[in-house]
Amino acid sequence: MPLSLNTALSGLQQFQEQIDVIGNNIANVNTTGFKDARVDFEDVFSQALVGSSPSNQVGMGVTTGAIQNNFSPGTVSTTGVGSDLAITGQGFFVVKNATDSSQYVTRDGSFTEDANGYLVTNGGQRVQGYSDAGLTTLGDLRIDATGAPSTAAPGATVKSFSVDPNGKISVTLSDNTTFVRGQVLLQNFSNPGALIKQGANLYSSSSAAGPLAKPTAPGTNGTSTIQSGALELSNVDLTAEMTNMITAERAFQANARVITTSDEIMQEVNGLKR
């Protein structure tokens, strides 16, 4: 069987995979905090025809070396919603599943308050940080009157809250007393490309990602500051993705043509004995 059949078949498989990745990027062009991906190709071990001379080798196709996520920041869009948070550069929010205590990281800062006052993701995972007014205890962030100064009126309730660029949560009570309730912290990684996508804009941390110490205050340990009332948009470049899709489609068609041509040659060879 001609080598061209196998090499072209490998091309069909890998370019189909690239089209799948491109399709996923395009589908998530409006997904908050989404990071696009690309396919890195590698050539397959070459077959030596005669001896070991480099000039006498024929490649045996292509394979996927890796699918890399591009963690470059997306555009920050103002929403005016105080619970919406955007990271202006490096870093990830840390969130926890309240049911099984599993932790994840995310770039999606479209948070809300649940019925108990916890700051949560759209999926209900609780945002992590310093959960006390003294900024010493790590835990679930909650917007309530806990830790209010003694000068606050008895029974005062939460009127509003805000988050500053360093993640500190300031709560204003119904008597206009203001105090720091907690602080949103960020996690950074030396190799974020090794994070594992879990869906719902969440990533699970792996040792290969190289987490840098424990979560830290925004603006420290390589992390960037937070912008309140804003969200980070997807970093997908739709124009580039359409160009990549056209290129992949043409390459797929060319490999299909190689298979057709190889098949025609095999038919000609088989016909020689008749």
Mind listing the pLDDT tens digit for each residue in 38-66? 999 998 876 555 555 666 677 788 999 99
At 156-170, the pLDDT tens digits run 999 999 999 999 999
Dihedral of the alpha carbons of 32, 225, 167, 203, in degrees to the nearest 10: 40
**pTM for this model (two decimals):** 0.88
Quick count: other Cβ atoms within 10 Å of Cβ 190?
Answer: 11
**Structure tokens of 26?**
């395009």
Given this model, what pLDDT does residue 138 score? 96
At 160-208, the pLDDT tens digits run 999 999 999 999 999 999 999 999 999 999 999 899 999 999 999 877 8
Q: Cα angle vertex 248, ends 242, 249, to 5°? A: 90
Given this model, what pLDDT does residue 224 score? 94
Domain limits, the chain = 3-72+236-271, 76-232
Q: Cα angle vertex 93, ends 222, 194, to 5°? A: 70
- Which residues does residue 43 pair with via DSSP β-bridges, in sequence order? 62
CA distance 193 to 251: 27
Cβ-Cβ contacts under 8 Å for 94 (sequence gap 6 or more): 103, 104, 105, 127, 128, 129, 185, 186, 187, 215
Given this model, what pLDDT does residue 269 score? 77
